[in-house]
Structure 1
Amino acid sequence: MTTNGECRTNGTRRPKPLLSRSCSENYEINDVDVPGTPKTPRTSTTPGHEKCTFHHDLELDHNPPTREAMLPEMSRSYRLLLESLGENPDRPGLLKTPERAAKAMLFFTKGYDQSLEEVLNDAIFDEDHDEMVVVKDIEMFSMCEHHLVPFYGKVSIGYLPCGKILGLSKLARIVEIYSRRLQVQERLTKQIAVAVTKAVQPAGVAVVVEGVHMCMVMRGVQKINSKTVTSTMLGVFRDDPKTREEFLNLVHSK
């Protein structure tokens, strides 16, 4: 590492790590909400959180109940929902549905129980490698926060290391953290990119997400074959068209 923050490999200077760069050239990383890293810690005395039962970050000074402790109330809510639909929640086919649905929802949103630091588990390694790292077609399942129905698809991540690399499986785990929450695809894409940035401080990060939204398939416009593609480009992926093109070519290659 040179004194001005640029990476040097075999006498060749590479761009500074992304967190050392001026974010005005891309977008403000701090403007993207990455649950688990709040700007100001929330406590039980924070307005609006006096009766908070669940936070994105489990390491705050008041802890949410265990997920098992939440099941009875959630089950009662699902029972009320069934009754509101005109169903009989006591008939054999629905007798255990409220509890099953509550357990399923907790599983669908298990990312709320995870933080970036916990998932990385120190799987960050010093490595003299400054060529692009790409993991593509990572399967993703999430829940639309607008309609509480699923959306699913695949995620491709690329980053340009600057002295540190991340265990490859951790990229898939980062996707899992943020997809297993109530989401919109646009925010999910940014959160993944920012998480990789925070993990290894690379010279750049690129994320492309392709998703199928059941809220468009099952309701509304009911367009079965529609797909939504979102991307976030940070650092050299945003600044350098050739780097961005290389990443996109790798992602779209068979």
Structure 2
Amino acid sequence: MTELLSEHYKAIIESIGEDVHRNGLADTPMRAAKAMRYLTKGYNEKLEEIVNGAVFDSDLSEMVVIKDIELYSLCEHHLLPFIGKCHIGYLPGGKVLGLSKFARIVDMFARRLQIQENMTKDIADAIMDSVNAKGVAVVIEAKHMCMMMRGVEKQNSSMTTSVMRGLMRENRATREEFLQFIRG
């Protein structure tokens, strides 16, 4: 698969008028192919393998918030990066998830071609399903290179998406508590 990607990158480089054999570009097709495989490794990951049994019994009924989880993804429209952070809150329903699993879940979905809106939903649904939470909230703030490097070229633009599930959606006070946590 990496060899095939390398050949495609070679064709792209040649089609823009570059000499793929010149010193600086000679190994670029293979490096780019390996980078793309890494940047899209989320397609080869499964939620069950990411969680890996790190779901623990707990009588905690208060909110758990994990914020500022870095993410790097590629937009499906231009294959350009978007970079940001993810904030997650959940209300345990008798089970809690190991802390590192939240970052791994974010990475699993971030390492795919997509739009931010769908990634936000996918992360919320995965957490909801993993621990059978009473409620889940996910907010992602990101800067999109497709807005900054091309098209409208707006350097200070960013996008915020949110998905609320269960009590995080139904109970305004709970939702506000989460939003207060991530503001501060």
Scaled by the length of structure 2, the TM-score of the pair is 0.99
The 5 Å alignment of 1:1-254 reads: 70-253=1-184
After TM superposition, where is structure 1 displaced by more than 3 Å over at least 4 residues in a row?
A: none
What CA deviation, in whole Å up to 9, does each residue of 1:43-89 have, x standing for no partner?
xxxxxxxxxxxxxxxxxxxxxxxxxxx11111110010011101110
- CA distance in 1 between counterparts of 2:129 and 2:165 reads 12
Q: Residue 54 of structure 1 corresponds to which residue in structure 2?
A: none
The structure in which a higher percent of residues are strand is 2
Letter in 2 for 1:136: K
Letter in 2 for 1:90: H
Percent pairwise identity: 57
Letter in 1 for 2:82: F
What is the deviation of 1:109?
A: 0.7
Letter in 2 for 1:148: L
What CA deviation, in whole Å up to 9, does each residue of 1:118-140 have, x standing for no partner?
01010000111100000000000
- CA distance in 2 between counterparts of 1:221 and 1:96 reads 33
- CA distance in 1 between counterparts of 2:155 and 2:38 reads 26
What is the deviation of 1:113?
A: 1.3
Structure 1: runs of 5 or more not aligned: 1-69
Letter in 2 for 1:167: G
Letter in 1 for 2:17: G
The structure in which a higher percent of residues are helix is 2
- Find the residue that maps to 2:24 and give its secondary structure: helix
- CA distance in 2 between counterparts of 1:221 and 1:74 reads 30
- CA distance in 1 between counterparts of 2:38 and 2:3 reads 15
Q: Which has the larger radius of gyration?
A: 1
- CA distance in 1 between counterparts of 2:165 and 2:38 reads 31
Q: Residue 28 of structure 1 corresponds to which residue in structure 2?
A: none
Structure 2: runs of 5 or more not aligned: none
What CA deviation, in whole Å up to 9, does each residue of 1:83-124 have, x standing for no partner?
110111011111100000000001111111110000101000
Scaled by the length of structure 1, the TM-score of the pair is 0.72
What CA deviation, in whole Å up to 9, does each residue of 1:181-240 have, x standing for no partner?
111000000000000011001110000000000000000110000010000001111111
